[in-house]
Amino acid sequence: MNGLAAAVAVEGGSLTLGSGLLALLRPALRLLEPGGVLAVLSSDPSVVDDLPTFCRVEHHRYLGAEPQGPGRTRHLVMRGPLGLPREPRESGFSLASGPGRYSAQRVLDAVPMPAHASPSTGFAPRGAQVEPGGPAYPYDLLERDHVAPPEVAQLYDQAVSAQWDAATDVPWDAVGRHPPEVEAAVGQIMTFLAENELSALYVPSKFVARTHPAFAETAMFLATQMADEARHIDVFLKRARAAGGGLGLSSVTTSRSLLSLLELEDLTEAAFLLSVLGEGTFLDLLRYVEDHAPDRATAVLASRARADEARHVHFGMAHVRHALACDPGLYARLEASVRRRAATLAGVGEAPAALQDALVVYAAGSVEPEAIARGHEAYRALLVTMHENRVKRLKSAGFDDVQAQTLSDLHSPNFM
């Protein structure tokens, strides 16, 4: 063994296997191909006995030891065939030093998503070296173009900086005293909003666990969406109970409509039905709540919720636009999905009665007949606006005029 050359050498000093030598030894072995030789210089006498045991357990070959002057020994270890393949670990990044915000977008630019991901990389973050032989995980969203629109990191960055506090960012002391009919209408509308936002919290959660971590930005964006919905549920329920209104009715129409969302199993269909059509329609509803708000607190919370919803709509549109560009057969699938959903609400031509009535009284601001007439006009205008804006959004997402009209007409009378 004299004169045998080692590719890598470590200076172990007086370290034993139990006092830290492994922390030098194992990384040095990982630098070698199987068959490569490591020299370990040591002045501890126990290493001559413990190193061969370590080698036996780890399938390296202990080649022997030779004295290197008084009290010092040079041990030679040949790297075995098991363990990590030699791959360069990620290095060379210094992303923090670039100009501007240290954003998720900057990280995504530096470490792009793969087109396909393997289920057996588990929860390993993109860019990590993955030890082979791990178990397969039950992810089934494994194709980048089905999971992650190009804007996803940018939307995540926006969402994170736009978070707000439902307890302090709404001027709760501005909730005034209103006629009991108006406050009851507020309670009914808030009940409806909270119920729908609960579905918007649950539906994305189904897809987070199915998303491969190579596309983590999508899961991270959905997490911000879920945090947004949680805050909306919180703020709507607070408003309902802020000034004597209390919660109103949950209707079968709403319940059926939301179940048909919860039952969706395809991410693109969910992004389309929930975010583009449902949350898109909610933008107009929240604008209505803001425009006719009886007090500043209600106006502010509707405005803040709408800003969040706009981001969710943006994500849904980006997702569908990207998916339509990648998959020409998608339109037919989405239309079929919208039709299936419409069938579950067949025979229901309008929004739940309790909600309609509340929206009319809310916009009227009182139960005087003249005011009610104005409120009813406002409600009818809302329905028109909802349809027009839905068509605009659908066209912007990549559908042609006829497709956009068809899909908008088929949309749920429940708004979401």
Name the site residues for other proteins (rule: CB under 8 A): 16-19, 22, 46, 49-50, 52-54, 56-57, 59, 82, 120, 132-136
Of 60 and 314, the one with the shorter C-beta distance to other proteins is: 60
- Residues 117, 216: Cα–Cα separation, whole Å: 11
Of 133 and 328, the one with the shorter C-beta distance to other proteins is: 133
- Residues 125, 131: Cα–Cα separation, whole Å: 13
Of 38 and 184, the one with the shorter C-beta distance to other proteins is: 38
Q: In one letter, which amino acid is 226? A: M
Please enumerate in sequence order all residues whose Cβ is within 8 A of that of 34, keeping only pairs 6 or more positions apart, or say none.
79, 80, 81
Of 50 and 266, the one with the shorter C-beta distance to other proteins is: 50
Q: What is the 3-state secondary structure (H, E, C) of 236-255?
A: HHHHHCCCCCCCCCCCHHHH
Minimum CB separation of residue 337 from other proteins in Å reads 36
Of 54 and 164, the one with the shorter C-beta distance to other proteins is: 54
Of 46 and 255, the one with the shorter C-beta distance to other proteins is: 46
In what order do the strands lie in the sheet containing 37-42? 8-11, 37-42, 73-78, 61-67
CB 6 within 8 A of CB 37: yes
- Residues 117, 146: Cα–Cα separation, whole Å: 12
Of 132 and 329, the one with the shorter C-beta distance to other proteins is: 132
- Residues 214, 206: Cα–Cα separation, whole Å: 18
Minimum CB separation of residue 322 from other proteins in Å reads 34
Q: How many other β-carbons are positioned within 10 Å of the β-carbon of residue 315?
A: 27
- Residues 26, 258: Cα–Cα separation, whole Å: 55
Of 212 and 390, the one with the shorter C-beta distance to other proteins is: 212
- Residues 302, 311: Cα–Cα separation, whole Å: 15
Q: Which helix (H) or strand (E) holds 239?
A: helix 216-240
Minimum CB separation of residue 122 from other proteins in Å reads 11
Minimum CB separation of residue 135 from other proteins in Å reads 6
Q: Across the chain, how many H-helices and E-strands are there?
A: 15, 4
Minimum CB separation of residue 16 from other proteins in Å reads 5
Q: Which helix (H) or strand (E) holds 41?
A: strand 37-42
Collapsed DSSP state (helix, strand, coil) of residue 300: helix
Q: Whose structure tokens read 């943006």?
A: 314
Of 50 and 143, the one with the shorter C-beta distance to other proteins is: 50
CB 168 within 8 A of CB 304: no
Of 62 and 202, the one with the shorter C-beta distance to other proteins is: 62
- Residues 112, 214: Cα–Cα separation, whole Å: 9
Minimum CB separation of residue 163 from other proteins in Å reads 40
Minimum CB separation of residue 85 from other proteins in Å reads 11
Q: How many other β-carbons are positioned within 10 Å of the β-carbon of residue 356?
A: 16
Minimum CB separation of residue 32 from other proteins in Å reads 18
Minimum CB separation of residue 59 from other proteins in Å reads 6
